[in-house]
């Protein structure tokens, strides 16, 4: 099909952004689809129909198929002979495995923060905590969820082991998407505020063992809430 300008593509499909001409087409399509999947504009279990997506993005089917292949390797898309490409969901086993790994990695990140965080990082953590409590008290759960994501980024940045950092980066899309899927669980985001507060206290106290333990407690709490609500999901994923 004839490829259109970025502005025309944006008008055709509001789910996606305008296409920069300087970017490789497959890279751009892959980034757009990944962003839409992670932020739930494309929901778990949703079919990825080539013709419709090609029209919305203003591209031919070739870069789209190449992007599907990349995203399948990342575990965000699955392709079957019956359904074609669909957005993946998370089974109970998927969640348990991801969160077992998350506990190891983020526990190590919290430990590293307690050991190495400088004054600027400690100030940033205090600021996130104070603003989180203010948003919770104001009932701004959307803003609160975004801010709690900022907490994760700050803690991840304290990892000094490059291999641990690489593993966190590899999981980042899944962790962000699963985090989005937890926002609708009643009381979950609010509970995370105080769980994060305990972690921050341990980091400020320079207590790496406690920071590691409390991060694992927080992650176990989130997983418990996700599994408890899984049966009510209509998307084949925890919400």
Supply the pLDDT for residue 6. Answer: 46
Collect the ranges in the chain with pLDDT lower than 50. 1-3, 5-12, 22, 234-239
> Strand, coil or helix: what is 86?
strand
What is the topology classification, in CATH, of domain 92-232?
Answer: 1.20.120
Please name every residue paired with 77 in a beta bridge, in sequence order, or none if there are none.
87
Supply the pLDDT for residue 145. Answer: 86
Residue 109 sits at φ, ψ, to 5 deg, of -65, -45
Q: How far apart are CA 48 and CA 62, in angstroms?
A: 14
Supply the pLDDT for residue 238. Answer: 39
Ranges for all domains in the chain classified under CATH 1.20.120.530: 92-232
Query: CATH number of the domain at 6-87, please?
Result: 1.10.10.10
CB 202 within 8 A of CB 194: no
Ranges for all domains in the chain classified under CATH 1.10.10.10: 6-87
Supply the pLDDT for residue 36. Answer: 95
CB 69 within 8 A of CB 39: no
pTM: 0.77
Please name every residue paired with 84 in a beta bridge, in sequence order, or none if there are none.
80
Supply the pLDDT for residue 18. Answer: 62
């Amino acid at each position: 099909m004839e490829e259109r300008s970025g502005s025309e593509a944006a008008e055709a499909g509001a789910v996606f952004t305008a296409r920069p001409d300087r970017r490789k087409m497959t890279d751009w399509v892959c980034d757009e689809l990944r962003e839409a999947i992670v932020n739930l504009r494309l929901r778990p279990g949703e079919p990825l129909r080539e013709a419709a997506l090609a029209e919305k993005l203003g591209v031919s089917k070739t870069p789209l198929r190449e992007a599907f292949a990349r995203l399948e390797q990342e575990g965000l898309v699955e392709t079957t002979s019956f359904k074609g490409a669909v957005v993946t969901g998370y089974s109970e086993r998927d969640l348990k495995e991801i969160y077992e790994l998350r506990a190891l990695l983020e526990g190590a990140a919290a430990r590293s923060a307690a050991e190495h965080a400088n004054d600027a990082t400690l100030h940033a953590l205090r600021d996130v905590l104070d603003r989180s409590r203010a948003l919770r008290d104001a009932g701004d759960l959307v803003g609160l969820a975004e801010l709690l994501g900022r907490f994760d980024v700050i803690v991840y940045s304290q990892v000094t082991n490059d291999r641990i950092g690489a593993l966190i980066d590899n999981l980042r899309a899944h962790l962000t998407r699963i985090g989005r899927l937890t926002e609708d669980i009643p009381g979950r985001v609010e509970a995370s505020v105080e769980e994060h507060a305990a972690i921050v206290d341990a980091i400020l106290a320079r207590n790496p063992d406690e920071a590691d333990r409390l991060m694992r407690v927080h992650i176990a709490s989130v997983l418990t809430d996700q599994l408890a609500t899984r049966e009510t999901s209509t998307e084949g994923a925890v919400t």
